[in-house]
């Protein structure tokens, strides 16, 4: 005999809880915002402007955390609706929630935000979001004329007198591009006395799938600035530099003395490179760690190493989702609303393609 199922709360009541400023919004309802459609989506859009700004921001942050923890949820409709929010913090949060969304209809909105938004952190987030479409353009998964528009806009921003954060994010997204002028921009940033520009250059080099950057990446594996060293370590894994293997193994010999983020990045990059002694190093590492999150992280690295060993030469360009944009003619501009808004001009970290420990 089938057990009685608990009745599902009407979505209108979920929205009532969201609108109730006197009580915290129950986390148990967060899943209800996944894959919204039909009347639920219509109700949500109608209620959004009635929710306080702090509550809207909190909801996006909670959904971002849930999306990181659960790959089966999708909050794209929430984020798309929030792209046009009057609060810059919420616009930036919406962009972060959409960084893995490959809906090419978003491209005009992102371009508009990059060029016209009044808040630097939003413009920087838009530059980051466009990186996925540079990648897809290189794989011929969006029309060439759309790719050209994205690249030219990013190039214009990078070469401008814009805020450095916005320019660096544009450079990072151009890392995927095969445009000949990008290499010169990467070298210029790499040779900058500013560590943030060096880190962005290395980040972009890691995305390039181009081993011409091998020596430059290796030269920064022992950089004194943590951010620069971190991006060099990540780039060595993304580029699958066998020449970095011994250096990374040596680095992990001093495991306890390393910054946590550095040692985790080194472990992950070794899993991408593979080869002699890597499995032994990672297995020995997992025996010595006490933190459960670190142990789980290294287990994930060992799983990735197995994939590397099973499918040698399967580079990052082969890893992209093979699904093409179904209808290029439906690339429309969603960004006709007012761009003005308030928000702090805060720096934000480069996109970390190494799995988080959190």
Compute CA 315 distance to the chain's CA centroid, rounded to the nearest angstrom: 19
Query: Per the domain annotation, does 46 fall within a domain?
Result: yes
pLDDT in tens, 64-79: 999 999 989 999 999 9
Q: To the nearest whole percent, how much of the chain has pLDDT over 70?
A: 85
pLDDT band at 162 (very low <50, low <70, confident <90, very high): confident
Rounded Cα gap, residues 321 and 307, in angstroms: 17
Place of tokens 């066998």: 242
Is it the case that residue 320 has pLDDT exceeding 70? no
Residue 146 is encoded by which pair of tokens? Answer: 């759309």
d(CA 103, CA 142): 10
Is 88 within the bounds of a domain?
yes
Confidence of residue 43 (pLDDT cuts 50, 70, 90): very high
CA–CA separation, 179 and 54 (whole Å): 42
Contacts 24+ apart (CB under 8 A), 99-103: 99/128, 99/129, 99/132, 99/351, 100/132, 101/76, 101/132, 102/132, 102/133, 102/136, 102/321, 102/323, 102/325, 103/76, 103/325
- Of the candidates 111, 214, 222, which has an alpha carbon nearest to the alpha carbon of residue 156? 111
User: Residue 335 — pLDDT band, cuts 50, 70, 90?
Assistant: very low
Q: Higher model confidence: residue 229 or residue 350?
A: 229
pLDDT for 225: 96
- pLDDT (tens digit per residue) in 80-127: 999 999 999 999 999 999 999 999 999 999 999 999 999 999 999 999
Contact 241, 218 (CB under 8 A): yes
Mean pLDDT of 334-350: 42
Which of 65, 86, 101 is the C-terminal boundary of a domain? 101
Q: What are the tens digits of pLDDT across the range 281-309?
A: 999 988 888 788 888 999 999 999 999 88
In a domain, residue 155? The reply is no
Structural domains of the chain, count? 2
Boundary residue ending a domain (39, 69, 101) = 101
pLDDT (0 to 100) of residue 273: 97
In a domain, 40, yes or no: yes
How would residue 357 be classed by pLDDT, with cut points 50, 70 and 90?
Answer: very low
Residue-level length of the chain: 358
In a domain, 86, yes or no: yes
**Confidence label for 315 from pLDDT (cuts 50, 70 and 90):** low
Instruction: Using pLDDT thresholds of 50, 70 and 90, give the confidence band for residue 6.
Output: low
On whether the CB atoms of residues 94 and 106 are closer than 8 A, the answer is no
User: How far is it, in rounded angstroms, from Cα 269 to Cα 248?
Assistant: 8
Beta carbons of 261 and 253 less than 8 angstroms apart: no
Task: Give me the DSSP letters along 242-302.
Answer: GGGHHHHHHHHHTGGGS-HHHHHHHHHHHHHH--TTHHHHHHHHHHH---HHHHHHHHHHH
Instruction: For residue 197, tell me if it sits in a domain.
Output: no
Is residue 116 included in any domain, yes or no?
no
Range(s) of the domain holding residue 301: 240-314
3-class state of residue 189 by DSSP: helix
Q: Where are the alpha helices (DSSP H) in the chain?
A: 11-19, 38-48, 53-69, 76-82, 88-97, 107-116, 120-129, 131-138, 144-158, 164-174, 180-190, 195-207, 214-219, 226-238, 245-253, 260-273, 278-288, 292-310
Mean local confidence (pLDDT), 335-350: 41
- Decide: 15 and 45 in contact? Cβ < 8 Å: no
Q: Which residue in the block uniquely carries the two structure tokens 């080869």?
A: 275
Residue 137, in any domain of the structure: no
- 199-226: pLDDT as tens digits: 999 999 999 999 999 999 999 999 999 9
């Amino acid at each position: 005999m089938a057990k009685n199922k608990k009745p599902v709360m009407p979505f209108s009541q979920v929205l009532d809880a969201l609108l109730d400023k006197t009580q915290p919004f129950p986390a148990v309802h967060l899943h209800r915002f996944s894959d919204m459609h039909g009347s639920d989506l219509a109700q949500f859009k109608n209620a959004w402007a009635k929710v306080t700004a702090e509550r809207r921001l909190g909801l996006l942050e909670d959904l971002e955390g849930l999306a990181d923890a659960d790959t089966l949820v999708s909050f794209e409709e929430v984020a798309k609706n929030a792209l046009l929010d009057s609060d810059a913090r919420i616009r930036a949060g919406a962009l972060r929630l959409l960084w893995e969304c490959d809906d090419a209809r978003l491209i005009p909105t992102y371009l508009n935000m990059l060029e016209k938004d009044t808040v630097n952190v939003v413009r920087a987030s838009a530059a980051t979001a466009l990186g996925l479409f540079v990648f897809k353009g290189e794989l011929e998964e969006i029309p060439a004329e759309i790719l050209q528009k994205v690249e030219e806009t990013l190039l214009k921003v990078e070469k401008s007198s814009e805020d450095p954060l916005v320019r660096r994010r544009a450079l990072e997204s151009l890392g995927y591009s095969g445009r000949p002028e990008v290499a010169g921009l990467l070298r210029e940033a790499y040779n900058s006395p500013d560590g943030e520009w060096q880190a962005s250059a290395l980040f972009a080099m890691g995305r390039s799938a181009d081993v011409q950057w091998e020596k430059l990446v290796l030269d920064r594996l022992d950089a004194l600035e943590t951010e620069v060293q971190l991006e060099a370590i990540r780039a060595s894994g993304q580029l699958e530099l066998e020449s970095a293997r011994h250096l990374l193994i040596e680095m992990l010999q001093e495991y306890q003395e390393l910054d946590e983020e550095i040692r985790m990045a080194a472990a992950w990059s070794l899993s991408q490179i593979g080869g002699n002694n890597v499995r032994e190093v990672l297995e020995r590492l997992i025996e010595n760690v006490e933190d459960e999150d670190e142990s789980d992280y290294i287990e994930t690295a060992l799983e990735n190493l197995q994939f590397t060993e099973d499918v040698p030469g399967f580079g990052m360009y082969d890893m992209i989702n093979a699904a093409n944009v179904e209808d290029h003619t439906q690339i429309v501009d969603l960004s006709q609303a007012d761009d003005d808004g308030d928000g702090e001009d805060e720096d934000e970290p480069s996109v970390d393609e190494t799995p988080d420990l959190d």
